[in-house]
Structure 1
Amino acid sequence: MTLAYNKEGSGDRTVLCITGLNGHAGFWTNFRKALAETCTVISFDQRGCGDNRDVAGEHTLAEIVADTIDVLDAAGVDNAIVVGHSMGGVITQYLALDHPERVRAAVFSGTFCVFDWYMENTNNLRQALLDKVGTEACAQFSAVMAMPGGNVMDERYNLHDRIVNVSSKAPDDVIMARMRAPYGFDRRAELPRIGIPSLVIGASDDLLAPLYQSKIIAEMIPGAQLEVIDGGHFFVNTRPETYLEKVGAFILSQPVD
């Protein structure tokens, strides 16, 4: 079954944007619209989320990878420049390693290459809040983790509204399954096999996918470019101009389709 997807722009470079835990293509709206002025941009809501909320699934990494390939097939795209944020960056690693013919270049954005003790403990706490306290508490804690207090007065963090106006992005069972998906993930030893142009971009104040993860990815992928900004875990949207400048320049440096 092919998921509903978005396709904007008509540029010679095709870019696929893959969202993280919340699974909603809306995460990319501003970036997608700006990039669509020069590129063809594809994004999609993942199973159980948004326009695909009613599509049942197991919500595993393998399933998301398969769905991503199905979206490319449905869009008639042989290969694309793939931009994956957070867990979407994990999916990008799977694509680059297991389906290299589908990826022309890759952007590993605010992501991780190993679900280590730090990430497990953080995620365990979020799952406990979801299971024992409820959706609101889990979402509020996640917002605080995503938007660290050092920049709490930055209006683009919108932390106050994120805490006060909590809304469910997906049913609780879907959120819980997606939270469990990356446990055991560790493909560090395989990263040197990635032979495509790669940009790794991370935030110095990201508490959900800490910068050390981005540094490991950049060190292990031959020729990878590392960019460090700030903006918390959602720096795609808290630092939109900087993100578009750095990621857009990398994308436009790639040969046309």
Structure 2
Amino acid sequence: MAHPYDSIGTGDHPVLVVHGWFGSAGAWRPVLDHLDTGTFRYLFLDLRGYGRRRDEPGEHTLAEAAADVLAVADEAGLDRFSLVGHSMGGAVVQRVLADAPERVRSVVGISPVPASGVPFDDEGWQLFSGAATDPANRRAIIDLTTGNRLTGVWLDAMVRHSLENSTEQAVAEYLRAWSGTDFHTEVEGSTVPVKVLVGEHDPALGEDTMRQTVTRWYPNCDLEVLGNCGHYAMDETPVALVTAMERFLSTV
């Protein structure tokens, strides 16, 4: 089965891009006009249960998602490539690195879920696990992870995109996958160049969490905090995000 993806750019540096838990390939639209399409070729993927693959069955595990990313690379004829992952997608691209290290040129994590997973207390788990069936939970999570500072019009649009581009089953099962899967010992010590971009207003996957996890595992890791930004840099600060991302990708 072919895996649909959006290919943008004609450059000789291929970059596979993986969305987050409430996203899809279409969630990257705010950054598209700012990409250097002469230097890079970006491939924006939908994971199973999302976007154009919304009705495709799957187990919704990190291993399955990583295998699908590699399948897209194979279909596109890419031997080596860089990876960009947002949030849950950040865990997926680290799983790709664990599974095919010889193919990965570099990794960019945008507010990435660490390869060790994310611990929840009971209240947090109720909020997040309820998001599969309750749009109000999705809205509360997006508001919380952007610092409770952004317009409700945008929050509603984000929830609408999530509902239209994912299944309840995928949202529920991927939550268990990204929160409860710990494979950090498989990537620890990898010398691949890694860039981590986090928002100053992200209370969950911000600078403190990254310094306790991701930056300790990768010796060639650079952490940058984006100002005026929470968990959704592609929406909140798209120009700054692309600038920081491509400045790094141009060095690898």
Same fold, TM exceeding 0.5?
Answer: yes
- Counterpart of 2:153 in structure 1 is 160
| Separation in 1, partners of 2:92, 2:187 | 13
- Unaligned 5+ segments in structure 2 are none
Structure-2 residue corresponding to 1:205: 201
Amino acid of the structure 1 residue aligned with 2:155: R
User: Residue type matched to 2:42 in 1?
Assistant: V
Q: Please, which of 242, 245, 252 is the counterpart of residue 243 of structure 2?
A: 245
For the aligned residues, what is the CA RMSD?
2.2
Task: Give the C-alpha shift of residue 33 in structure 1.
Answer: 4.1
Distance 2:175 2:5 in 1: 23
Q: What's the offset of the Cα at 1:184?
A: 2.6
TM-superposed deviation, 1:63: 1.0
Q: Deviations for 1:185-227, whole angstroms, at most 9, x for unmatched residues? A: 2233344331111111112221342322322312321121111
Q: 1:128 deviation in Å?
A: 2.9
TM-fit CA distance, 1:165: 7.8
- Whole-angstrom distance in 2 between the partners of 1:119 and 1:85: 23
**Cα separation, 2, equivalents of 1:165 and 1:196:** 33
Q: Which residue in 2 is equivalent to 1:49?
A: 50
Could you tell me which residue of structure 2 aligns to residue 91 of structure 1? 92
Map Cα deviations across residues 113-138 of structure 1 (whole Å, 9 max, x no partner): 222434785344221354xxx43212
Distance in 2 (CA, whole Å) between partners of 1:166 and 1:209 is 20
* CA distance, structure 1, for counterparts of residue 105 and residue 159 of structure 2: 38
Q: Equivalent residue for 1:229?
A: 226
Match of 2:135 in 1: 136
CA offsets 1:221-245 (integer angstroms, 9 cap, x no match): 1121111113111012201121111
Q: Is the 8 A contact 2:81 2:104 kept in 1?
A: yes
With structure 1 as the length reference, what TM-score do the two structures score? 0.86
1:189 aligns with 2:215: no
5+ unaligned residues in a row in structure 1: which ranges? Answer: none
Match of 1:127 among 126, 129, 138: 129
How far did residue 164 of structure 1 move?
A: 7.5
Amino acid aligned to 1:73: D
Equivalent position of 2:22 in the other structure: 22
Relative to structure 2, which stretch is displaced further, 90-99 or 180-189?
Answer: 180-189
For the structure 1 residues 53 and 129, does the alpha-carbon distance in structure 2 shift closer, same or farther, using more than 3 Å as the test?
A: closer
Equivalent residue for 2:214, pick from 214, 217, 226? 217
Structure 2 counterpart of 1:232, one-letter code: G
2:6 is aligned to: 6
- Partner in structure 1 of residue 59 of structure 2: 58
Alpha-carbon deviation of 1:23? 4.5
Q: Which residue of 1 aligns with 2:145?
A: 146
Aligned length: 245
Separation of aligned partners in 1, 2:57 and 2:104: 27
Contact 1:200–1:227, Cα closer than 8 Å, also in 2: yes
